Amino acid sequence: MKKITMMAAIAASIAAMAQPVTPETGVANDHTGTAGGATGVVFVPRTAETGYGYDDGMTVIGLTFLPWAAPNSSWDVTGVRMNLGWGAYRDTSAFDFGVFSASRSASGIFFNLFGNYATAGATGWQTGLVNVVDDRMSGLQIGLVNYAERLCGVQIGLLNFAHSQHFFPIVNIAW
């Protein structure tokens, strides 16, 4: 079993090294030179967050247990995400369910007992006790308390806030 795992790791490393990085897919890094000497230019892969460096990854299935995430909380989840505690991933496009969910951007259907949180916007359906979107919410929020900086959709709950528009209890609609 150890040999198979080692061979898989080596194969993955070789595949990663074989991917060409060009000016279109990477960012120039000229830190390879020495003081006063010639400077070489190396291209490293781009990422959405930093503009350079290595891509953190994407997974089809995300699982969190308390604060621990599998495979990795800095990855994007596209598919299904289950949160047994605090579930935080970078970006989520998925069917998401569990206790609590947090993402930079979220799109899909989110059913979490305590709530949902998105910092860079959300699209779809959020259900939980408290639903918060720090940017634009496009879709439906159902919960005890719903908040969106900008709303293009419907909020159903005891307290509904669309900061850029208005506050309205029970049902809040903005287009």
Structure tokens at 16: 């990663």
Please, are residues 135 and 119 in contact by the beta-carbon 8 Å criterion?
yes
Kind plus residue range of the DSSP H or E element containing 27 = strand 26-29
Sign of the CA dihedral running 22, 23, 28, 30: positive
What does the alpha-carbon distance between residue 174 and residue 164 come to, in Å, rounded to a whole number?
10
Distance CA 175, CA 165 (A): 10
Specify the residue for token string 């060409």.
20
Cα 23-24-26 angle, rounded to 5 deg = 60
For the entire predicted model, the pTM comes to 0.67
Residue 132: its pLDDT value, please? 96
Task: Quote the pLDDT of residue 57.
Answer: 83
pLDDT at 164: 72
Domain boundaries, the chain: 21-55, 56-175
- Confidence at residue 30, expressed as pLDDT on a 0 to 100 scale: 45
Give the model's pLDDT for residue 107: 95
Structure token pair of residue 4 = 């198979």
Question: What per-residue confidence (pLDDT) applies to 173?
Answer: 86
For residue 49, what pLDDT is reported? 47
Q: Where are the beta strands (DSSP E) in 35-165?
A: 42-45, 58-65, 68-70, 76-88, 91-103, 105-118, 122-127, 130-142, 145-157, 159-162
Q: What is the pLDDT of residue 54?
A: 44
Compute mean pLDDT per 10 residues along the chain, 175 residues long, and list them: 57 49 48 49 48 64 85 87 87 93 94 95 96 95 95 94 80 85
Torsions phi, psi for 13 (to 5 deg): -65, -45
pLDDT at position 155, please?
95
